[in-house]
Amino acid sequence: METCLFCRIATRELPGKIVYEDDQSVAFEDIHPKAPVHILIIPRRHLPTLLEAGQADDRLLGHLLLVANQIARQKGIAERGFRLVLNCNDEGGQAVYHLHLHLLGGRVQRWQTG
């Protein structure tokens, strides 16, 4: 989707601090970090939310988790610990409608509701 913010970051049409990429995924720093390490991991393919993913995407979804594993190690937060977040739709707090994982680390993560 040409108008999608994250698609345009992935293709470098818009600037982004890309920390990792491969044929299926791209990861870049969140512009408003909520933790010392805050990376967004996205599939290259435009999927608006998790709900558009189907059985054929099972490898892709697994791949995104393994990318998180790799980046957490690279960023030095693997041992101390980190959090992965996936927001879906309005009440889930999703603001950008291109499926993404938030990788958060570098400080103690407290569980927050609301």
The CB-of-35 to ligand 5GP minimum distance in angstroms stands at: 11
CB atoms within 10 A of CB 66: 10
Can 98 be counted among the known catalytic residues? Answer: no
Cβ closest to ligand 5GP, residue 9 vs residue 55: 9
Cβ closest to ligand 5GP, residue 17 vs residue 55: 17
Phi-psi region of 93 (alpha: psi -120 to 50; beta: other; left: phi over 0): left
- Using CA atoms, how far apart are residues 96 and 32, in angstroms rounded to an integer? 13
Q: Which residues bind ligand 5GP (CB under 6 A)?
A: 5, 16, 28-32, 40, 87, 93-96
Among all residues, which ones are annotated catalytic?
100
